Chain A
């Protein structure tokens, strides 16, 4: 019999269209704009802190790696290990430069040694300039020809020495910027000469700038072969390598073997840590701290929403009673309050994600960084806010739904 009759709408159970549910919830929120705004603020701060943290740590990490690539990521320095007797050990061979050049991934290589002048002073000739101290104590270094390229030396005048100078043990010097100033040498067109003790050296070049081994700027540098013959240099103190980008690890492993095949452990390699690993570490440090901060803010925001929704329920007991009298089921009441709290969380998430992104952009602009942000962060943040609103609203909504309509009507006005 029932099948023959068209069931009236009212027989389908309690009904409320989704549109009405949304409209009632929105109206409920708009009725108390100031309170809703303050409540949302908690979530805004929490989500904003999270988004800014994730973005800034990624941006900063990216920045560190960027600087890294420029110079440090191609830098390998090989020195004798402590067990080999430290810097005086004769572990680095004279032909280190040639051996290193053979490795794939080495852009430039050279050796550097300290020449012991045994107290002999250095002075420039032939001009006796009263403004220049006649004889000075000057650090004297011996280098293989490739070293200048490996330290990215910039020549301001003259030329650098080459293999021929070294093999012939020519008495030539290249002066660093500061050493040249001390000796009063500022131009080479007069073919200046320098006495080292009683030996006369020609100055063939001036170096203005180096990217590595900055002590070169204060030193006079002679060819390695000259230092061996004239001053009895025992062995280079270090080998400096510039690698191709990305080859640092490889060369760091291969260089000791190339220089000391019988006992590579006598050599110590100073190479920068793997940039990728470094970036990871930097991010982890920052993230751990700020994620905690963001998490705490979110928790506070969640408690705020729960609190305000609960207060709102208690305040609106009369309204709940009225709605029940008008035919709302418990589900309708719960759904409305749940939707209100979820909407607050969602709004907090959207505003927080926007604010966090602005912070990232502002900080990046201030530091001339490139802002970097995972796309899922600003997209996921509103969702996170909504989930927080939903969870926070659960208990107050259940309280609202549990109210008995008679008592609610009696209590409310």
Chain B
């Protein structure tokens, strides 16, 4: 189902009023959250290093996907392209029906601010700001007014069960708690897509289990999640698994 925050496709400026989409996955008439068509990424020219070749991938709204593979296989490159931090060198990437390749840096920043939530392996919390401030930081680059920001941040903390730590500094939290805060930050503002880069890579087994349980719950609620991992038991929590080897993607069970 469409999440309530997705109020129709983006209307873009002179860069191109692109509303090209194919109704693949999701309810009829709505674009998929992510659609990659023949996406490749090559670094350098002498000699060129091919990190991704010809990846086709469609992720419907509400789906969850794990990207697995050995290190150096191109997982991170794929994630960077999905997150609009990097650009593909070939192929087409439609995000919510928008051809991201046509967007300039500023438009991509807007897209990240409003529709993509990030969860990092090392949490990336600002050490000198309270948990609440860290979560609220997600709204700073939306140009949103401050009214209600605290309430929205508390709401996000509530979803990960961390309201009791709202006024703590991150340095006083355990790893699992820090990752929960980071997830709350990614959840703020109901993004289309939550991208997680090795979210359990720095956690012990107990915290890993707890964070993965949280992902399961969020998946149940209909959040679209993509997580990159090299651990199969983590990947098993996603409905779909895509394995990347030498820059080529193949879906398990496909």
Contact = CB atoms under 8 A, between A and B. Distances in A.
A324 B105 CA distance: 11
Contacts of A412: 124
Interface residues of A, number: 38
Nearest to A24: B140
A20 interface: yes
Contact of B128 (A19, A30, A326, A413): A30
A327 B110 contact: yes
Contact of A318 (B105, B107, B124, B138): B124
A323 B110 CA distance: 12
Nearest to B141: A327
Interface string A1-33: 010010111111111110110001001001110
A11 B114 CA distance: 10
17 contacts: A2-B17, A8-B7, A10-B110, A14-B141, A17-B144, A20-B140, A20-B146, A24-B140, A322-B124, A324-B85, A324-B109, A326-B138, A327-B113, A327-B114, A328-B113, A329-B106, A412-B124
A16 B140 contact: yes
A413 B17 CA distance: 38
A133 interface: no
Contacts of A413: 122, 124
B112 A326 contact: yes
A329 to B, nearest CB: 5
Contacts of A31: 126-129
Interface of B is mostly: loop
Which has the most chain A C-beta neighbours within 10 Å: B85, B105, B133? B85
A352 interface: no
B140 A326 contact: yes
A326 B106 contact: no
Interface string B126-160: 11110001000110111111100000000000000
Contact of B109 (A17, A32, A329): A329
Interface residues of B, number: 39
A332 interface: yes
Contacts of A293: none
A406 interface: yes
Nearest to A322: B124
B236 interface: no
A332 B143 contact: no
A12 B8 contact: no
A17 B145 contact: yes
Given A16-B141, A409-B85, 10 more contacts: A2-B17, A8-B7, A8-B10, A10-B10, A11-B13, A14-B113, A327-B109, A329-B106, A406-B86, A409-B124
Most buried by B among A30, A321, A406: A406
Contacts of B85: 324-325, 405-406, 409
A361 to B, nearest CB: 38
A319 interface: yes
A27 B128 contact: yes
Interface of A: 2, 5, 7-17, 19-20, 24, 27, 30-32, 318-319, 321-330, 332, 405-406, 409, 412-413
Closest 8 CB pairs of A and B: A327-B113, A15-B143, A31-B128, A327-B141, A10-B114, A327-B112, A329-B109, A322-B124
Contact of B11 (A2, A16, A319): A2
B1 interface: no
Contacts of B12: 11
B118 A325 contact: yes
A68 B1 CA distance: 92
Nearest to A316: B126
A31 B127 CA distance: 9
Given A5-B8, A318-B124, A413-B122, A17 B13 contact: no
A410 to B, nearest CB: 9
B126 A319 contact: yes
Contact of B106 (A14, A17, A318): A14
Contacts of B93: none
